[in-house]
Amino acid sequence: MPTASTSSPDPLLETQVLWNRYKMQILLGLAVVLCAAAAFGAYRLYIAHRDTVAAQLLANAKGAPDYQKVIADYPGSGAAASAALLLATQQRAKHQFVQANQTLQKFISAHPQHELVTSAKMATAANLESLGKTDEALEMYRRLATDYAQSFNAPLAMLAQVQLLKGQGKTEEARRVCETILTQYRDSYAAMQASQDLKNLKPAAAATVTPAASPNSSATASPSPAASTAASAVPTP
C-alpha cells in the first residue's frame, strides 16, 4: 500500500524568502544600530577629550578666575567639581563667606551624587557660623547628620552641633547629642571627642533657695555645735 510522502521545510529556502520579504527593514535596523554605536563611541571620545583638557586647565589654575573658567567651560566634568571646591576654599580663606556658600551651592546642585557633597555641606554650615548665623548652621548640621547618616561627615556634623549648643547654653541637648554619637558611631574619632565633651558637660544642678535671716533669727536659731558644747559645760544651780 503506497504511503504519503512528507516533505521537510528547506531552511535555506525559507531564509531566502524572509530576506526577500524583509530585506529593507533588516538593513534599516542594522543601519540604526551601527549609527547608534558610532554616535556612542564618538560621545565617549568627546567626553574623554573634554575631561583631559579640563584636568589640564585645572592643573595650571592659579586663582579664582582660572577656577571659574574651568567651571563655566567644562560643566559636569570632574575637573569642574574640583575647581568649585577649590574656589570655595579660596573664598573662605579671604573671608568671602557669602560668595563661598554661593559657590558651594552651585557645586551641590551640579553634582548631587558627588562623593564630597557632604563635605560641601559641612563647609557651608561652617561659613554660616563665621557669618554669625548659628541657628542656620545648627539646622544644617542636623539635616546633614540625618540625611547622610552613613557618611563619614555625619558624626563630625554632630560634634559641631555640640559646640554650638554649648555656646547657646543648651547643655542637656548637647549631652544628648554626645550620647547619640557614642551609641551610633562608637568606633569613630568623633566618639572619643564626644566622650570627652560629655565629661565636661555637667547636668544642671537644682537651684537651692536659702531663706533670708530675720532680725530675731539669732534668738530662735539652733545653737551651733560650739555653743552647745559651751552650754553643757556650765553647771546648773
- Tell me the per-residue pLDDT of 50-103, one tens digit each, with 9 for 90 and over: 668 778 888 888 889 999 999 999 888 889 999 999 999 999 999 999 999 999
In tens, the pLDDT along 181-229 reads: 999 999 888 999 999 999 988 765 433 344 444 444 443 334 443 334 3
What is the average pLDDT value for the chain, to the nearest integer? Answer: 79
Pinpoint the alpha helices (H) of 148-187: 154-167, 171-184
Overall fold of domain 115-202: 1.25.40
The pTM (predicted TM-score) of the whole model is 0.66
118 CB-contact burial (10 Å; exposed 0-12 / middle 13-18 / buried 19+): buried
170 CB-contact burial (10 Å; exposed 0-12 / middle 13-18 / buried 19+): middle
- The region, left, alpha or beta by phi > 0 then psi within -120 to 50, assigned to residue 205 is beta
Residue 105 identity (one-letter amino acid): Q
Evaluate whether 55 touches 78 at the Cβ level (below 8 Å): yes
Distance set, CA 99 to CA 102, 106, 124, 133 (Å): 5, 11, 11, 15
- Please report where in the chains the cell 524568502 appears, as a residue: 17
Q: Where are the domains of the chain?
A: 115-202
Evaluate whether 103 touches 84 at the Cβ level (below 8 Å): yes
